[in-house]
Structure 1
Amino acid sequence: MSDNKYRALSEEEIAALEDRGCRAGDWSKVHVAAEFDPSRFHGIVFHGKVEIARQSGEILLSDGRKKSCGIYNASLENVAIGENCYIANVHVGISNVNIGTGVAIENVGEIICEGESTFGNGHAIDVLNEGGGREMNICAQSNAQVAYLTIMYRDNQPLIDGLHKISDAFCAQIHSNRATVGQNSRIKNCTKITNVWIGESAVLDGVLSLREGTVASSAEAPTSVGSGVVAEHFIIQKGASVMDGAMVASSLVGEACKVGKQVSLENTVLYANSEAFHSELCSVFGGPYTVTHHRSTLLIAGYFSFYNAGSATNQSNHMYKLGPVHQGILERGCKTGSSAYLLWPARVGAFSAVLGKHHANFDTTNLPFSYISEEGGRSFIIPGMNYFTTGTFRDALKWPARDKRTVSNKLDFIIFDVLSPYTGQKVIRGQEILNDLSERSQKSQTFVSFKGIHMKRLLLKTCSRYYQLILDKYFGDIVIKRMQHKSAGTLADLFTNDSDQFVSHEDQWVDICGLICRKNRLEHFTAAVSSGEIQSYAQIQTALQAIYTTYHEDEWQWFLAQYAHMNGHPLQEESSGNWQAFMERWNTASRKLLKMVLSDAGKEFEGNVKTGFGVDGNQDADFANVRGVFDENSFKQQLEKDMQSADARYEDFMKLLV
């Protein structure tokens, strides 16, 4: 705080303070605002340079109580205090801290800064591979995409060096020998807070120990840290909640994440809207919407996103040879069932469900939307089947609806689409794989194997048809979206080109921890980081925002390239009859999908699911009163509306052919 805002205490003011139990080693180092009311200060011990802004009026605490602004029973050393704060019952002391306007601190042990600190920023953690080699410097301003590139792109050393320079520059800007408590924060019943930067409107209540960390927070996205929390070398981003005895070590908790109920995080990053309760997470790279709620679950040395862990899910990264050096990948949208086990290394394709215990090292990245199960110690797969389930359909609806980030400038860029060029390219490859396996397999074979996993030979053609159904739906979806986006009145309106680049059907698409994009766009970005053209986190956000905004146009251009490759001519040259046939396939695929999902949902209301209802009779009535009836279920009604909507959009498109 500026010296010219403050003045020395008068002899009368010093006497008044001493009458109220205040003491100072050197009163000349205590500076106050022009308007100073000694009656608002009691039982204070001053050490070093202390600056106190005007204290007046009342302050509203987080529990609804009102208190007179002022300082009561506290030890202050080298502290600057903003206007209209309430500080009371600091049992050990506050040292080397800048406290913002409107802060309330009550019943705490100590809040101190020891020496120089970057407050958790720049701390290197071993993510994904517990044995090291994929170290990431956690920073308050870094996002899921920066983490992905830092952790996954170790083959690109100039990129890694560029990202480390950005991290180092940020740390150089914020390192200080003074901690900060942001304006309007609330801190009470906390034991020890050492070298922690606390943002605006944060709420800390009942914390045991915070050391070397950042609690980023803002008025629009306040962050909470609660009872029994122990954290060291950490970053907590805006809008997050870390509560109920959580143990956090060398970890980052992203925007709007929820962490608590005795969970343990070590060398772990969790990004937007993830939730971790009860479980143990070690060297986990948790992308957006990584969720684990069960006490018996261990997530270790894995990459997850849009993921749900069943109870007692477990992995092993240690073969007891050279240490815990193995790692695994579950691509976006995967689930693991209760007691599921995976032996790393393994890679599971997007939107797949894993059931059972798997000791094989398999790779199903090009077989998305699959059921993976285990029988007799062998791993089996049914490709494509998981797309037609209630769970996948509900996930597509719930993730956008459950985005709890309230901050204006969100750090993580997220494309929520289940069907995208990223999954679309994998469906195309998967269909090619299944067709090839079908052609090469012998009729005498019961099973065929592919990259460590087995599948029934008789299901190869069926699963290939599943993938074709997915493509029929997805390609039609793209056309419908284009029609609506362009407010098309004619077919020609669909083909106005907003793209700044040529797109080939061979272009690879990648999922950069939530951000789906063309790989060559990402390569332009990584080159800019490597060359030093991009030098800050702000510039990273701007560049990634540009990639994010190109998604829908790039998706359209990708589709056109795929269509031309598959059919031998551009979509623009199709006849009216072929257009109609194309959209009929889309409508048929959409309705078939919805009917399959509807059938899957109906299983929740029939047969053995009623077991345990009507314990002494009247089973159907008891079930209906508790669970409701299927015809009135909101999810069923939504599916029926979607069928009607598909028909209506089909009719709208047909008008373009007239």
Structure 2
Amino acid sequence: MSLRHLTTAEIHALELQGCACACWDDVRVEDPFITYAYRDVTFSGDIELYPAEGTFMHGAFTCNAGIYGAAIADCRVGRGVHISKVHDYIAGCDIADGTVIRNVSRIDCPKESCHGAGSVVDVLSETGGREVPIYYGLTAQEAWIIAMCRHDMDLVGNLKSDIKEKTAAFRRDRNIIGPLAVIADTLLISGVDVMAGAEVDGASRLVNGTVGEGAFVGTDVIATDFILARGATADTAARLDHVFVGEGSRIANGFSAHHSLIFSNCILENGEAAALFAGPYTVSMHKSTLLIGGMTSMFNAGSGANQSNHLYKTGPCHHGIFERGVKLASGAYVMWPARIGAFSMVMGRHKSHPDTSALPFSYVVENAGATQVIPAVALGNIGIARDADKWPRRDRRPDRPADIITFQLFNPYIAQCIEDGIALLDSLIASQPDADTLTGSGYTIKRSHAERALTLYRMALRHYMLGTMLQRIADGLTLASDNGIGSGRWADVAGMTVPASLVAGGLPDAQAWDNVYRDLEWEWVASRLAAEPDIDLTHPDANAIATLLDEWQHTDSMFTDMLRRDAEKEFAVNNPAAAAGFGLLDPDTAATDFRNVRGTLDTNPVNNLITARTTRAKSLAAAVALRLNLH
């Protein structure tokens, strides 16, 4: 229906209800116009009012649509909106249908704003050089390419130009408050879009930003130059300054972040981040933890973990990489620059700028003030297996997620790291034949540890490749491969493992990626298996495949046993590392106390993980045997 001006009778009724306007001709309404739904309202500027129909629940209270106790300037107020207890004013807002705004101080858009879009985040290097402009819809992969591909400034420039065009669409002198949004008990919102279904409850100060669809901003949050993606949360005194928060991520409990990019499914509480590139599933929960100038994904920081990006020479220009799956033990410290290999545990203090990227699944420990690496030892770590199992189940992103995440524990990138590790360890052993302790890039390795790691790495690599081949056989897929782009080097692009050559050429969107990943993975695996003397992918022989299946089952059983033994340590009553602190009244009750509290491995959910692994292996073996008529 079309808008119309108020009638004289309607104006009189509004004025009797405490409403005022310097020029009632600037107020236009859509029928049915319900005069009693407006009380103690001061209107100013161009006003559009749509029907104040309906009631709804806000907490324990039933609210009527309408405006009660507010000053409204230059606003469009949609159908079924409730506004009440505005202590200062609301100005320059397009308020969509079904929105609730109550007990707020001020909401305005005092000047032309991009609502956080185009804000430049000086990520990794606080002195600049890897800056990323943010916008509503930014993906982890876009940001990674802009930050890390500075060798190809044409590529970076094209992406920045695209973002500049997208930013222009957000430039306006009005806030958008989307359908069914809720804003309550909040002091200041200035130049901020609040998208459909979002909620702002108790925030202190939001300036130049976007609160995305279904996102939540809670008590005492202060945020400036920010973007909260769909389903993101900032709560309980979080502090954000030049920050992007990705889908399903939660920033809370006084966590402070500036010039940081935080992508999907992260949880950051109590601590601090500066110039952080937090890929998916970055977790930090402790007050004394600082994450500065680092890149992470599938990461966990213990209490007191921190890094240094400032060597007091040319400023805070240094950065470092924690590859996917890294964990920092309590009190762990790393001086940047450094690079820690995937799925490694860092313990102690490390000042020698180690690069262990070719040594995944390692313990990086401090020994007499120096960095020592125990490579491959974490291949049998039950904690890593548990993490890989839970990440997909803890995916909090909405439908059609923006970021692409490779959940598989083993994939071509990790296998490539293992390949590099085998080559590195072979080289270190050969080049230092008389040394009991081998020297690498900023670290040492005991010869015995290197030799054991070679055995484990080779087992893990072949197990992954044979498993991939056997799964294709079970699924009835061809083993032929044309050595396409998947056979080359791969990169981990903010949680997405992908052929490096695809990065410059343009990554597919998240929905298309699942359809092509498996073939690209097979290209990598097939190119390596083709060099194995006992494997013929062109003319596969059933008997040869049966032999490989037996080998794979044997290796899989070995790794499963390693995981089980590692898990059993957590339930060993006679293990002081697990059972200290039980049986305080009587040492003879320690075992009973322990079992009643901790249970046994058989009753713990982690046993389901181990059992499921065994079941999957048997199912794969049966499917392969059926395909090859081996029964």
The two structures share one fold, judged by TM-score above 0.5: yes
**What is the CA-CA distance between 1:38 and the residue it aligns to?**
1.0
CA distance in 1, matches of 2:332, 2:179: 46
Paired AA for residue 520 in structure 2: D
Residue 52 (structure 2) pairs with residue 55 (structure 1): yes
8 Å Cα contact 2:126-2:293 kept in structure 1: yes
Residue 145 (structure 2) pairs with residue 149 (structure 1): yes
Q: TM-score, normalised by structure 1?
A: 0.92
8 Å Cα contact 2:469-2:479 kept in structure 1: no
CA-based RMSD:
1.6
8 Å Cα contact 1:212-1:233 kept in structure 2: yes
**What is the CA-CA distance between 1:651 and the residue it aligns to?**
3.9
CA distance in 2, matches of 1:449, 1:11: 90
The residue that corresponds to 2:415 in the other structure is 424
- Unaligned regions of 5+ residues in structure 2, if any? none
The residue that corresponds to 2:433 in the other structure is 442
Residue 584 (structure 2) pairs with residue 615 (structure 1): yes
**What is the CA-CA distance between 1:521 and the residue it aligns to?**
2.4
Deviates more, 1:635-644 or 1:31-40: 635-644
The residue that corresponds to 1:237 in the other structure is 229
Q: How does 1:256-271 map to 2 (within 5 A)?
A: 256-271=248-263
Residue 563 (structure 2) pairs with residue 597 (structure 1): yes
The residue that corresponds to 1:288 in the other structure is 280
8 Å Cα contact 1:203-1:224 kept in structure 2: yes
Paired AA for residue 143 in structure 1: T
Paired AA for residue 465 in structure 1: T
8 Å Cα contact 1:129-1:301 kept in structure 2: yes
Q: How does 1:72-471 map to 2 (within 5 A)?
A: 72-217=68-213, 222-405=214-397, 407-443=398-434, 445-471=435-461
Residue 484 (structure 2) pairs with residue 502 (structure 1): yes
Provide Cα deviations, 1:368-412, integer angstroms capped at 9, x if missing partner: 11111011111011111112101111011011111011x222100
Give the secondary-structure state (helix, strand or coil) at the position aligned to 1:565.
Answer: coil
Give the secondary-structure state (helix, strand or coil) at the position aligned to 2:555.
Answer: helix
The residue that corresponds to 2:13 in the other structure is 16
**What is the CA-CA distance between 1:549 and the residue it aligns to?**
2.6
Give the secondary-structure state (helix, strand or coil) at the position aligned to 1:110.
Answer: strand
Q: How does 1:506-517 map to 2 (within 5 A)?
A: 507-517=488-498
8 Å Cα contact 1:472-1:585 kept in structure 2: no
CA distance in 1, matches of 2:184, 2:546: 67
The verdict on how the C-alpha distance between 1:568 and 1:576 changes in structure 2, with shifts beyond 3 A counting, is closer
- Unaligned regions of 5+ residues in structure 1, if any? 526-539
8 Å Cα contact 1:413-1:548 kept in structure 2: no
**What is the CA-CA distance between 1:468 and the residue it aligns to?**
1.1
CA distance in 2, matches of 1:284, 1:176: 30
The residue that corresponds to 1:536 in the other structure is none
CA distance in 2, matches of 1:632, 1:340: 33
The verdict on how the C-alpha distance between 1:281 and 1:73 changes in structure 2, with shifts beyond 3 A counting, is same
**What is the CA-CA distance between 1:641 and the residue it aligns to?**
4.1
CA distance in 1, matches of 2:592, 2:614: 30
8 Å Cα contact 1:127-1:151 kept in structure 2: yes
Structure 1 stretches of 4+ moved >6 Å: none
Paired AA for residue 417 in structure 1: Q
Q: TM-score, normalised by structure 2?
A: 0.96
Paired AA for residue 345 in structure 1: P
Deviates more, 1:104-113 or 1:474-483: 474-483
The residue that corresponds to 1:537 in the other structure is none
8 Å Cα contact 1:216-1:237 kept in structure 2: yes
Give the secondary-structure state (helix, strand or coil) at the position aligned to 1:572.
Answer: coil
**What is the CA-CA distance between 1:358 and the residue it aligns to?**
0.5
Give the secondary-structure state (helix, strand or coil) at the position aligned to 1:162.
Answer: helix
8 Å Cα contact 2:386-2:609 kept in structure 1: no
8 Å Cα contact 1:414-1:515 kept in structure 2: yes
Provide Cα deviations, 1:6-58, integer angstroms capped at 9, x if missing partner: 11111111111111111111111011112111111100011111110001221
Give the secondary-structure state (helix, strand or coil) at the position aligned to 1:190.
Answer: strand
**What is the CA-CA distance between 1:547 and the residue it aligns to?**
4.2
Say how many residue pairs are matched: 624
